[in-house]
Amino acid sequence: MVQAIRHDQSAADVQLQRFGLQLTGRDSLPGTANNRKVVDSMQKVEEQFRQAQRYLAGGVSSSTRVNQALNHPLFFERAQGCRVWDLDGREYIDLCCSHGATLLGHGDAGVRAAVEEVLQTGAACSYESSLHTELARLLCETIPCLERVRFTGSGTEATMHTLRLARAYTGKKKFIRFEGNFHGYHDQVMFGSSGEPGQNQPQLSAQSAGVPEELAEHIIQLPYNQPELLEAAVRHHASDLAAVICEPVFYNAGCVLPTNEFANALRQVTSQYEVLLIFDEVLSAFRMGPGGAQEHLGVTPDLCTLGKAVGGGYPLSVFGGRAEIMQHLMPSGDCQHSGTYNAHPVPVAASLAALKAYRQPGFYQHIHRLADRLYGELSEIFQRHRVDGSVQGLGARFGIYFGVHGQVRDFSDAQKHNRQRMLEFIALAIQNGVYFHDYGGVACHHGFCAATTDSDVEEALERLDSAVAELAERESN
């Protein structure tokens, strides 16, 4: 398991707003003039985008799906394994993998069989079945902190309900979060600081229109990986503090690992002051091992959220933790969580198939072997072409940083990354048949799936070598 040293807030629109970029037209984007060769070869894709704009707000179903490296989304007509094909018939090796949701690969046979089986039963939703109990049991056996679980649709719902539950259990309102960590799109967490990065408990402002600014009074924001600031803040605010929530592996800034001191302080300090510790593992769950980041770090939180890979490519998220806390949910307690489509049998069946695959012997040996090669050799490609790029990764997700010297340790380091260079690199990678999502050019996460083979990695590296070579040529001119 190698960390090669050299979001989405992960919504591209929010990221662009945060960093002072605005999408106002094709030529307004960094590097777009150089990327026209890619855009102009996608006639069917661009025509479909024009049609979509007539009926979908912004032409997309989710704000992040406009790839800023191209100034339009890619429309894919099919996918299989680690590859996707667009409407113009162009084939790509997929290094987005549904933002991490498709860990097994597109069209996995085991997941498809499980889904087809439950469809044959009628797939009645909003009722309980034995599948729910079976999946809950398997999750509790796999993830260290889980004694009881509940199912939701999205990661946003999972963090929303987890924070509500923490407040219900403790009777307190405030929570600590860390700069740059992403916890979904609900109003309770859609806040950030507008000043210089790295500030301790800065004034926060809403990151979207329509979010009441008053909600910021319940949030205390700290820099990541600074245990002394964490201890001081928890000690000072303990009487009002319901929880500390964090990404245990900070993938939404690429791939930033917590120091041992920080990871241990998260558990020790919250326990000392009777504050709940929440690990948001919507992205990190199953990424580097079946027990997620909490197993990898050896730190067990009170509550956690799971998403993306837990659904096997289908819409399912989970929150859970200690039984005494989860018992505060209705009907046994007084904290509400309900929904017609919670734990629809189709994603539950897909999740069961996926979890069984993740628990198979050799699954993560394969992931880490591919990661070692992909991250190490991509770093070598940057060095060989004298491009100032670097890679940090753990398990099946990784970050690429341009213009950052040394290891990225927090959000402040990630902010040094050259967004324009990233957009140019992504456009060239797409031109050469490797798909990355852009996240507005900011440092964020990319990844591969378990369906990827050694020959797929070799082919991806060959294509990326051509992209980096062209990037180096542009830099020299």
Residue pair 38/88 in contact (Cβ under 8 Å)? The answer is: no
pTM value is: 0.92
| Residue 98 in this model has a pLDDT that exceeds 70 | yes
Helices (H), 329-362: 345-358
The reported pLDDT for the residue numbered 195 is 84
Q: Within its chain, how far is the Cα of 352 from the centroid?
A: 21
3-state secondary structure of 192: strand
Q: What is the band of 462 on the pLDDT scale with cuts at 50, 70, 90?
A: very high
Q: What pLDDT score does 29 carry?
A: 39
How are beta strands 148-152 and 276-281 bridged, if at all? unpaired
Question: pLDDT, tens digit, for every residue of 155-189?
Answer: 999 999 999 999 999 999 999 999 999 999 999 99
| Residue ranges covered by each domain of the chain | 12-106+362-476, 109-358
State the amino acid at position 468 in one-letter form.
V
Q: Give residue 476's pLDDT.
A: 84
What share of the chain has pLDDT > 70, as a percent? 92
Q: Is 428 helix (H, G, I), strand (E, B) or coil?
A: helix
CB 197 within 8 A of CB 411: yes
Cβ–Cβ under 8 Å, residues 2 and 391 = no
3-class DSSP state for residue 245?
A: strand
pLDDT at 25 over 50: no
Mean pLDDT of 442-448: 97
Q: What is the mean pLDDT of residues 136-140?
A: 98
| Residue 453, pLDDT above cutoff 60 | yes
The pLDDT of 23-41, averaged and rounded, is: 44
DSSP 324: H
Q: Note the Cα 184 to chain centre separation in Å.
A: 10
- Check if CATH label 3.40.640.10 holds for domain 109-358: yes
Mapping DSSP onto H, E and C, the string for 320-374 reads EECHHHHCCECCCCCECCCCCCCCCHHHHHHHHHHHHHHCCCCHHHHHHHHHHHH
The confidence score (pLDDT) of residue 9 equals: 36
> Is the per-residue pLDDT at 367 higher than 70?
yes
Considering only residues 317 and 36, tell me which one the structure prediction assigns the higher pLDDT: 317
Total Cβ atoms within 10 A of residue 130: 7
| Number of Cβ within a 10 Å radius of residue 395 | 26
pLDDT in tens, 37-96: 554 578 999 999 999 999 999 999 999 899 999 999 999 999 999 999 999 999 999 999
CATH of 12-106+362-476, one of 3.40.109.10, 3.10.20.600, 3.40.50.970, 3.90.1150.10: 3.90.1150.10
Residue bearing the bigger pLDDT, 20 or 335: 335
Q: Are 294 and 248 in contact (CB under 8 A)?
A: yes
Instruction: Report the pLDDT value the prediction gives residue 244, as an integer from 0 to 100.
Output: 98
Q: What is the pLDDT of the chain when averaged over all its residues?
A: 92
